[in-house]
Amino acid sequence: MKINLKQLAVQTLDQTGNLLLSPPYGGFGYYRNHGPRATRQVALTFDDGPSKPCTEELLNMLDDLEVNATFFWVGANVMSHPDLVVRADAAHHIIANHSMEHSRKSGLILQDDGHFTDAEEVVYKVLGKRTRLYRPPWGWLPPWEGHRLNRIGYTVIGWDVYTLDWQLPEPDGRWMAEDAAERTQPGSIFCFHDGRAHAPVWNKKQTIRAIQHLVPLLRAKGYTFVTVPQLLNVPGYA
């Protein structure tokens, strides 16, 4: 059997990077991956948006469920849909920073913070608020990136319940909800996705189906849904 050395090298790099840099074990201590384990509060988070129509449909559904969430949005997508940023903020969701271009490489550069300060500036121009929650693209956080984020007042947010809703084709929403519910603990932070970086138009039906099923499932077990700042008692904005 012929071995593709380039593909093997990429897979090895990805596996090593995920282990050392990503939640729940990586990140060199800079991540906040969950809230207090003594209280049955949990937080929904969504990455990579905003995109249409999926973010619009998700916001409609969260309104119906009376749930507030935290959105880690990409600056390039924010520029495409400032109306969704305003709408989410008006509904008391939290807008958080997921970098300007969703480049894993940018966070690995020793002396470069433009990828998150540029995204912060884009949100500020729309809302007049400066983000103070950050989640790195792909979850990769080297120690120098964590240090510079902490130095200017950011809290780096990970997760302890990671879903596969980013995959194509989308996994079944009911299965994702039941799988997530089995792994839920008091203080859990869920990582879902409401779009795709650099895709202003994106359709995600199964993520919405998963949330529709997950919220009542966990409420029946006594859980309440809060934003990340409420869960961790940290500021969402400067």
Reported as a single tens digit per residue, the pLDDT across 46-102 is 999 999 999 999 999 999 999 999 999 999 999 999 999 999 999 999 999 999 999
Q: Is 47 a catalytic residue?
A: yes
pLDDT over threshold 70, residue 103: yes
* pLDDT score, position 111: 78
Among 21, 32, 48, residue whose Cα is nearest residue 234: 32
* pLDDT score, position 1: 52
Q: Is 193 a catalytic residue?
A: yes
Helix axes 82-90, 114-127, angle to 10 degrees: 70
What's the chain's average pLDDT?
A: 95
C-beta separation of 79 from 120 below 8 A: no
pLDDT mean over 177-202: 96
pLDDT over threshold 80, residue 146: yes
Query: One of 47, 89, 165, 194 is an active-site residue; which one?
Result: 47
* pLDDT score, position 4: 80
Alpha carbons 36 and 39: distance in angstroms, whole number: 6
Alpha carbons 192 and 45: distance in angstroms, whole number: 6
* pLDDT score, position 2: 59
Torsion angle of the four alpha carbons 15, 20, 21, 24, in this order, in degrees rounded to the nearest 10: 90
* pLDDT score, position 9: 79
pTM of the model: 0.95
Reported as a single tens digit per residue, the pLDDT across 107-119 is 888 878 899 999 9
* pLDDT score, position 177: 98
Residue 126 neighbours by CB distance under 10 Å? 17
Reported as a single tens digit per residue, the pLDDT across 71-87 is 999 999 999 999 999 99
pLDDT over threshold 70, residue 215: yes
* pLDDT score, position 7: 83
DSSP string, 96-159: EE--SS--HHHHHSTT--HHHHHHHHHHHHHHS--B-EE--GGG---HHHHHHHHHTT-EEE--
Query: One of 81, 93, 102, 193 is an active-site residue; which one?
Result: 193
Secondary structure element (H or E) that encloses residue 193, with its range: strand 189-193
Domains recognised in the chain with CATH numbers: 5-232 (3.20.20.370)
* pLDDT score, position 105: 85
* pLDDT score, position 144: 95
pLDDT band with cut points at 50, 70 and 90 for residue 6:
confident
C-beta separation of 157 from 96 below 8 A: yes
* pLDDT score, position 3: 62
pLDDT over threshold 70, residue 236: yes
Reported as a single tens digit per residue, the pLDDT across 156-182 is 999 999 999 999 999 999 999 999 999
Report CA torsion sign: 155, 156, 161, 166: positive
Alpha carbons 66 and 153: distance in angstroms, whole number: 30
Higher pLDDT, 108 or 35: 35
